[in-house]
Chain A
Amino acid sequence: MKLTQKHTIKDLTIIVVSASILFVQQLALSFIPNVQFSVLLVILYTKILGFKKTSLIIIIHVLAVNLLSPMGPVVPTLIPAMFIAWMLIPILLSTLLKHVHSAIWLSVFGFVYGFIYGWVFIPFTVWFLDVPFLPYLIWDIPFEIIMAISNMISILWLYDPLKKAFVQQLEHISESTKKMPSATS
């Protein structure tokens, strides 16, 4: 039986490299709370790689952040919240916002998502960690605003050039893959 594994290996490599970039930039910027390029990258991955691959990248990212972060693991009860929050991006961009492609509108989505990300954690924090609801809601607002602004500005200015560079790299990888001989088993 002849099996072509080129695409599988190529896809796996792209997923792993994309997840690594996501993880490393988040760690590199973790000294500034809620300032990162994660939302920009997840939006970019969703728009270019699609829902399935982005979902796998998010699974790897959530696991990596919780297992390998030098700052220690996140509280285990918050892992589902983190996973749901990140998965909202590919879900929304593959359904309701499927036809949104402009950097300006995606940056508006990134701004709103800054608040949504914070709100997803609220029920988990309140129920599992017994944190009072209202003070938590109020004191999380500055962090949500910082994330919203960071998302909006990063998407506004970096989405288009990153998309161009990423698409070029993917095309380059596709051409290289075509030249490779098919793997057989």
Chain B
Amino acid sequence: MNTNKFLVGGIIGGIAYFLLGWLVYGMLLMDFMTNNAGTATGVMKTESEMVWWALIVGNLLSGLALSYVLNKAGVSGAAAGASVGAVFGLLVCAAFDFTMFGTSNIYTMNAMLVDIAASTVMTAVVGGIVGWYLGMGKKAS
């Protein structure tokens, strides 16, 4: 695996995740997720309590995870990146959401299903961007 491609692809993916996450979860789905929260109260932090370093590190790590998988799968194009990214996003998000749904009262099933759909689309888009980057060198050579 090309370490340089992995790291740069991961940073590009992390930035794309951050911007898309802000758009999708911070704006488009904000009210829906609030209205479909579970019975647990006081769990979610307010905007002033949010831990920004953890949010930034989390986005970079998700970019690196996706870049690692795309590199390992030998992806070198936007379409291949998007399709592998969609499967990766679907399985990661669904596995985590079903675990949280089974063990906690943080959100309803509606919120879980919408989160899985949104995450799949987001990861497909980010996978397309990272895949496009990974293919750049190959086209040039």
Q: Do A and B bind each other?
A: no
